Amino acid sequence: MMTTAILVTGGTLDKDYDAIRGELGFAQTHLPKMLETGRAIPAPEVEILMLKDSLAMTEADRQIIVEACLNHPASRLVITHGTDTMTDTAKALMETSKLHVKTLVLTGAMRPWALGRSDADFNLGAALMAAQTAPSGVYVCMNGQLFTADDVQKNRQTGCFEPLTDA
């Protein structure tokens, strides 16, 4: 049985440029190509839950993510997510006591993978490593750092994640 899997929810990481409309949107997930390029062996299973901008994510969407984590056979999951409300979803997962036996790591990107020069590959690789090595709990993995769900925020001035408390 697999030990690590990836649940896709959308976010900037999976956005692509629509030249006809002149805007960013979703067509498909880039995760299989990212895993191939990164030579992830064995490649984790990828399951698409949704392809959504996190600003459009609702509490019902968060419940879908919670249920998917509860019902997934893997004990270690990476969840790709938009950065704007990633911490809200992390807290919803943390508040679900039945998930405390799993290791859940949320990650995303500030720039779409398909546009190049993205932090997506770096964040995904870090999140996969964190999911395999961190103890059970809910985490956010961004900017080369692993944060617990109850001690993380997105700094909107710098575009980086940081702890709520000063260490």
In CATH, what number does 4-162 get?
3.40.50.1170
Query: 133 exposed, middle or buried (CB, 10 Å; 0-12, 13-18, 19+)?
Result: exposed
Structure tokens at 1: 């049985």
Domain boundaries along the sequence of the chain: 4-162
pLDDT digits (tens, 9 = 90+) for 18-53: 778 888 888 899 999 999 999 988 889 999 999 999
Question: Exposure pattern of 98-120 as b/e (b: 16+ CB <10 Å)?
Answer: ebeebbbbbbbbbebbbeeebbb
Portion of the chain with pLDDT greater than 70, in percent: 98
**pTM for the complete prediction?**
0.94
More confident call, 88 vs 2: 88
